[in-house]
Amino acid sequence: MGPTNESETQRKSLSTRESQALSRLASEGRQIITIDDIENTLDIPRKSAKDMAYSLKEKGWLERLAHGKYMILPLSAGENAVYTEHEFVIASALVDPMYIGYWSAMNHHGLTEQLSRTVYLVTTERVQPREIHGVEYRPVSVTEQKFFGYQPSAVGSTQVNIASIEKTLVDCADHPEFCGGIDELVKAMERATEKRCSWETVVEYLHRVGNGAATKRIVYLADQLDIELPEYRDLVENFTTGYPLLDPTREATGTRDSKYQLRLNVEPEAFLPDGLT
């Protein structure tokens, strides 16, 4: 039996009230709904709304994203159903609080041409990664101290929190493994200068995040790219002890550089744009 017939079978299995709820909610342009939405749209008791959500999920019309939050699968859903809502909107429904960060934020700001198949979201909660229709959603748990530097941005008709350019650079320097490594961070820093990145804000955020390795990586890469950082002397004089890897996604090899107090496990020739080596 092909997808179309399965789709027809699924539709027939819906009660009149369920069909009414889905069509009303979908006609409002909503892809992500809550128990409250079902309750209010149909004007039914909360328990009935919960029962309906469970039934629609079991019949394959809703996908549960988080407690009390569901995504409507397209009404033509067969075996090859495609979610029409932007991945960032789905990510924003998975956990609260959150903001889109790391490689995903780099994509959003045009700081990289490399598309990641993973959507990275930053949260203070502990949440497991999820795969929804072939897209991996990777929550990164951070402390309250690091949870800042984002603003609501319009994604379709929805507002989603996305890290600013400056916070994206700092977060990626803090965890290069979530942005594709130093090569991608270099490209992002180079492009950020063309996008009116505030290096004063970057330095302020480095202080707030308080990760010595992130500061060393930004200072080292800024020097390689001829980017003048404000408070440069202060940053260098306050380097923390230890020699973290320049690129933690690669092997722990290379020399210990006493100027930057980094272990340079990648040669500049390997990641710098032509003409800067």
Q: What CA–CA distance (Å, rounded) separates 175 from 122?
A: 12
Q: What is the pLDDT of residue 45?
A: 94
> Which runs of E-coded beta strand occur in the chain?
32-34, 62-66, 69-72, 99-100, 118-123, 130-132, 135-141, 150-155, 158-163, 255-257, 262-264
Q: What is the pLDDT of residue 120?
A: 97
End-to-end CA distance of the chain: 60
- DSSP bridge partners of 62: 72
3-class DSSP assignment, residue 245? strand
Q: For residue 59, count CB atoms less than 10 angstroms from its CB and return exposed for 0-12, middle for 13-18, buried for 19 or more.
A: middle
Q: What is the pLDDT of residue 76?
A: 58
Render pLDDT for 89-118 as a digit per residue (tens, 0 to 9): 889 989 999 999 999 999 999 999 888 889
Q: What is the pLDDT of residue 84?
A: 54
List the structure tokens of 36: 């409250």
Q: What is the pLDDT of residue 48?
A: 93
Domains present along the chain, CATH in parentheses: 3-72 (1.10.10.10), 87-240 (3.30.460)
Residue 81: what residue type?
Answer: A
List the structure tokens of 243: 């020699």
Kindly give the parts of the chain with pLDDT less than 70: 1-13, 75-85, 274-277
User: Whole-model pTM?
Assistant: 0.81
Q: What CA–CA distance (Å, rounded) separates 162 from 74?
A: 26
